[in-house]
Structure 1
Amino acid sequence: MVKQVSMTVGDTFARAMRTWEEGDVAEARRLARQIIESNPTFGGAHYLLGAIALGQAQPRKAAEHLARAVAADPSQPVPRLALGRALEAQDSLNAAVLQYRAILAADPNHAEANARLGELLGRSGKVEEAIHHCRKAIAVNPRHAEALCSLGALLHQRGEDKDAAKYLEGALAQRPDWGAALHNYGLVLRRLGQGERAVAILSGAVELRRDHAGTRANLAGALRDLGRLDEARAQAERAAKLAAGDPSGWMELGLIRNLQGMPEGAAAAFERAVTADPKSVDAHWCLAEARRSLDEKDKAAAHYRKCLELDPADRHGAALGLAQMGAAPTPGKAPDAYVRQLFDDYAEQFDAALVDKLAYRAPRLLAEALARTLDRKSGLDVLDIGCGTGLAAPILRPLAARLDGVDLSSAMVEKARLRGLYDDLTVDALESVLTTRPARYDLIVAADVFVYFGELGPVLAAAAAALRPTGTLAFTVERAEDCASYVLGAKNRYAHAPDYVEARAAEAGFAVALMEPAVTRNDGGVEVPGLVAVLRKG
């Protein structure tokens, strides 16, 4: 590793390396120290002592020797890689990143440096850059287990679980008994709705990492998904006991206790989760919901407000929770971040849950209403707002010369794209799309979308602007009883009074072509009162 050394030093170093590789660590260390006594700056000896210390879980000592090895010959990647590992073991992640970047500055295609950099960038939340480096490592070495595992975990974070599964399967093909890869694979399978397989894989990960609280907590979650609540609770309790300062076990324990009809116990677990991580929006929201279920409104409101403080975009809908209790005015619409998160999480199970469990029939009702009211029944430019997974596309495609879709949820849009029925799909807020496409469409359809809007005036006006002079807007809403305008229901969905819908439609320049009572879905086996409406511009 060092140029122009004496044969005596070179021979001794070669013997030391050979001895180390054969497993005689003590003799290898003795020979390396002998070299350093006569040649203190000999990098190879410092590298060997650093590698030995690293293998014996002495990262500080390892880093001292490896830094000297790097100083002796900064162009060598091997000591830098080892130094990066030693710094990682000391949680000096930024310093480790610098070592890997130094290697890549000289050799951008260095597989191991790319893999380690990808792993560390992923931990720090730099997902896109991390994915780039993992892909570079795999391009050089398609069997690089660490890069495959890291890339799988990163794609899971980004919601690309089918691709994530492929990379994690590749990692496990190289290292079948790798607990971390099994854990990540189990999380992916859970997200893909493969509950039984997820439990099997996560159980294997727990066997390999019996004292890893996070793995047990995720196994508890997978068991909870399957309704195996006693087993889930046992795993969650074990996770909480293993790491009282880790909120994941307490969170799972709270969710399971809630399902088992133990509201006070659930609240107590969520309190522990908040104590473990006071900045966890998830923990504050769960605790707020638990306190609300116990009718402890002041305590619930405090945690809803903490959610809003930590997450002003409000992906949990804390503002809706406050409104439900009368602790704040009812918002004019559900927060975009809440709707996006709701449907991103729901995308894999959406079609089966909506059609099979909730008897969703809004697209069919709209198809029947349009058949009765449209003058032209083909060759239309059509926009499906809040298109979701594209359940309305089969009834709209025969009407359309062009069919566009828009939805807040990227996961839902990807499902819609697979249907192959849309000419264009956009991930955006529907008001944004409507206001930037003036007079572009003949027909706009919103199936079960305006249930996330209370005040309909702005969105109806935006739809009117996007329609041509004789255009049509068709939509469904839930119907409010004994209400002058709209109410926010227990499931964070708005219901509207028919007179209110008519009044707002008229203000936006629409005439009512059809407005009828309808049932668009069930909830808990009970039909939900609704309306189907067709409005004509002008």
Structure 2
Amino acid sequence: MNTGKPLNIGEAFGRAMQAWEDGNVAEARRLARTIIEARPDFGGAHYLLGLVALGQGQAKRAVDHLTQAVASDPNQPVPRLALGRALEAQDNFNSAILHYRAILSREPNHAEANSRLADLLGRLGRNRDEALDHARRAVAADPRHAEALCTLGTLLHQAGESVEAAGMLERALELRPDWAVALNNYGLILRSLGQNERAVAVLSGAVDLRRDHAGTRANLAAALRGLGRLDDARVHAERATKLNSRDPSGWLELGLIRRGLDMPEAAAAAFERALTAAPDSVHAHYCLAETRLALGQKERAAKHFRRCLELDPEDRHGAALGLAQTGAVDAPSRAPDAYVRQLFDDYADKFDSALVDKLAYRAPALLAQALDAVLERKQGLDVLDAGCGTGLAGPVLRPLAARLDGVDLSGAMIDRARSRRLYDHLEVGELVASLEARPATYDLVVAADVLVYFGDLNGIMAAAAQALKPGGVFAFTVERAEDCASYALGAKNRYAHAPDYVEAVAAGHGFAVAASERASTRQEAGEDVPGLVVVLRKI
């Protein structure tokens, strides 16, 4: 009823906001509309109507109202934040980013704006370093900002810092224990750390909270697969594909599970469905290529290996090696750097336990025995651990060294090696270039289980000779090739070398063989892999 009494805008807006906070959406909307009828330019009412529309999934209407709210007071961060959220709901990410940046230009430490910007940059795959910086700023400004903690943890995980990432997700879950997104992300981090039992427990909780989310189901299936519970894993992967047949993650996981169950044809069918959902997925093309190769379908495998190389010229999956195994091309002279780097970045957190416990890795111990005989207990040497990985050889090299350096392609591996506190200097770098950059620097260069990623040994031999002082020693392990004149690429994308070839290349670069012993440095499927332990001396 119209009493003729002028509307008190301030009082009406206060009542509208109180209704919103009390959950009385209809009353909040009625009062906001009444205000706008009287004062079309009143930003607060547009802000409230924008929130109402956003809450009801009406993103376009929300953007219209929130744009007017921002126009009425451009310096106010609250309407801009809401507008950014509404633009995100429209998938208008670039405009949302501009509004978050506008807030930060005035308030650089604004927790929510930093958090939203970090999340968006991370999801869009843009400038991970900048995304991490904004996430850290958000957490520094508000250590109890659950979304910022979750975003920071997710970004750290993507950057290979899984231990620190786990801590951030744990803090986020202390604040919001029943947050499905954080539980899902925490489960993924635990998986990367090799903690599959904990990952299953956490991801099961995430599934309980959102039973119809395909991606979470697929992640739980992957964790179950990591525990060898393939039948349980298949149930969840199949459910994921039914919940969302256009999500490639469920099909990919189902393919991997079927492959583990020795169902290669069914695995290939699942990978084909993954490619239907995501035609440019390098991972799906690679998985399908591997499966086709295992089925003996070399031409079909080659097609997908080639597509991998088109989509990822750096070749982080090692498709060039797979293509060679189809017989379509000759084996490359060495494994692609991007493949080796990615392999060991992904493997770093569980490398030691997997190699020593599961593969009976003993290259450092065998090299130590060989060096003990050749060096005659010399100490005080300048030593390079070439391809040092996590530093598994560090304990046997440190007693020999006045200075112990390490170099590796994988930054994640170098971080693990640094934590051992055995090295005087560690750096990330390509091995041949690193050796060439250190002429006549070392008494001893050691490469444990490294030359398996080199086919042609001429480059690495020449670089090692250059890095050694006169009389210096180059010690390494290789896998031993049978019935081969030089080297061969094996099914595990590792090269094996003929003993005569190793000695011939060594002689060609000014080395004499001080020791060469047939030995196995590791196992595959419980069987010893034939190998060689070689010690060369620079003439």
Whether the TM-score (by the shorter chain) exceeds 0.5 is yes
Matches within 5 A, 1:250-329: 250-329=251-330
**Aligned residue number for residue 51 of structure 1:** 51
Matches within 5 A, 1:21-170: 21-126=21-126, 127-170=128-171
**Aligned residue number for residue 183 of structure 1:** 184
| Contact preservation (8 Å) 2:214, 2:250 | yes
**Structure 2 CA distance for partners of 1:404 and 1:34, relative to 1, 3 Å:** same
Residue 516 of structure 1 pairs with residue 517 of structure 2: yes
Amino acid in structure 2 at the alignment position of 1:20: W
Tell me the alpha carbon deviations over residues 166-196 of structure 1, each in whole angstroms, 9 at most, x when there is no partner: 1111111111110000000000111111111
Q: Secondary structure at the match of 2:143?
A: coil
Whole-angstrom CA distance in 2 between matches of 1:488 and 1:95: 50
Give the superposition deviation at 1:375. 5.3
**Aligned residue number for residue 216 of structure 1:** 217
Tell me the alpha carbon deviations over residues 489-534 of structure 1, each in whole angstroms, 9 at most, x when there is no partner: 1211111111111111111111111122222222222222211111
Q: Secondary structure at the match of 1:330?
A: coil
Give the superposition deviation at 1:21. 2.4
Tell me the alpha carbon deviations over residues 134-189 of structure 1, each in whole angstroms, 9 at most, x when there is no partner: 11111111000100011111111111111111111111111111000000000011
Matches within 5 A, 1:410-425: 410-425=411-426
Tell me the alpha carbon deviations over residues 358-403 of structure 1, each in whole angstroms, 9 at most, x when there is no partner: 2222111111111111256111100010111111111111110000
Whole-angstrom CA distance in 2 between matches of 1:360 and 1:25: 65
Q: Secondary structure at the match of 1:402?
A: strand
Whole-angstrom CA distance in 2 between matches of 1:303 and 1:355: 34
**Aligned residue number for residue 450 of structure 2:** 449
Whole-angstrom CA distance in 1 between matches of 2:232 and 2:141: 43
| Contact preservation (8 Å) 2:289, 2:301 | yes
Amino acid in structure 2 at the alignment position of 1:59: A
Residue 249 of structure 1 pairs with residue 275 of structure 2: no
Q: Secondary structure at the match of 2:65?
A: helix
Amino acid in structure 1 at the alignment position of 2:81: L
Whole-angstrom CA distance in 1 between matches of 2:21 and 2:484: 81
Amino acid in structure 2 at the alignment position of 1:186: G
Amino acid in structure 2 at the alignment position of 1:32: A
Whole-angstrom CA distance in 1 between matches of 2:22 and 2:321: 66
Q: Secondary structure at the match of 2:389?
A: coil
Amino acid in structure 1 at the alignment position of 2:59: P
Matches within 5 A, 1:362-381: 362-374=363-375, 377-381=378-382
Amino acid in structure 2 at the alignment position of 1:108: P
| Contact preservation (8 Å) 2:394, 2:422 | yes
Aligned CA RMSD, in angstroms, stands at 1.3
Tell me the alpha carbon deviations over residues 46-98 of structure 1, each in whole angstroms, 9 at most, x when there is no partner: 11111221222222111111111111111111111111111111111111111
Amino acid in structure 1 at the alignment position of 2:57: A
Whole-angstrom CA distance in 2 between matches of 1:495 and 1:411: 26
**Structure 2 CA distance for partners of 1:504 and 1:75, relative to 1, 3 Å:** same
**Aligned residue number for residue 354 of structure 2:** 353
Percent identity of the aligned residues? 70
Give the superposition deviation at 1:261. 1.4
Q: Count the aligned residue pairs.
A: 533
- The TM-score, its normalising length taken from structure 2, stands at 0.97
Residue 13 of structure 1 pairs with residue 13 of structure 2: yes
**Structure 2 CA distance for partners of 1:13 and 1:526, relative to 1, 3 Å:** closer
Q: Secondary structure at the match of 2:522?
A: strand
**Aligned residue number for residue 430 of structure 2:** 429
Amino acid in structure 2 at the alignment position of 1:143: R
Unaligned runs of 5+ in 1: 1-5
Q: Secondary structure at the match of 2:78?
A: helix
Whole-angstrom CA distance in 2 between matches of 1:521 and 1:54: 58
**Aligned residue number for residue 459 of structure 1:** 460
Q: Secondary structure at the match of 2:253?
A: helix
**Aligned residue number for residue 3 of structure 2:** none
| Contact preservation (8 Å) 2:193, 2:349 | yes
Amino acid in structure 1 at the alignment position of 2:110: H
| Contact preservation (8 Å) 2:481, 2:497 | yes
Q: Secondary structure at the match of 1:519?
A: coil
| Contact preservation (8 Å) 2:490, 2:496 | yes
| Contact preservation (8 Å) 2:36, 2:45 | yes
**Aligned residue number for residue 3 of structure 1:** none
Residue 439 of structure 1 pairs with residue 440 of structure 2: yes
Whole-angstrom CA distance in 1 between matches of 2:372 and 2:24: 84
Whole-angstrom CA distance in 2 between matches of 1:80 and 1:417: 44
- The TM-score, its normalising length taken from structure 1, stands at 0.97
Q: Which runs of 4+ in 1 moved over 4 A?
A: none
Whole-angstrom CA distance in 2 between matches of 1:112 and 1:11: 29
Whole-angstrom CA distance in 2 between matches of 1:523 and 1:36: 73
Q: Secondary structure at the match of 1:474?
A: strand
Whole-angstrom CA distance in 2 between matches of 1:207 and 1:440: 59
| Contact preservation (8 Å) 2:214, 2:243 | yes
Whole-angstrom CA distance in 2 between matches of 1:318 and 1:432: 24
Amino acid in structure 2 at the alignment position of 1:508: H
**Aligned residue number for residue 200 of structure 1:** 201
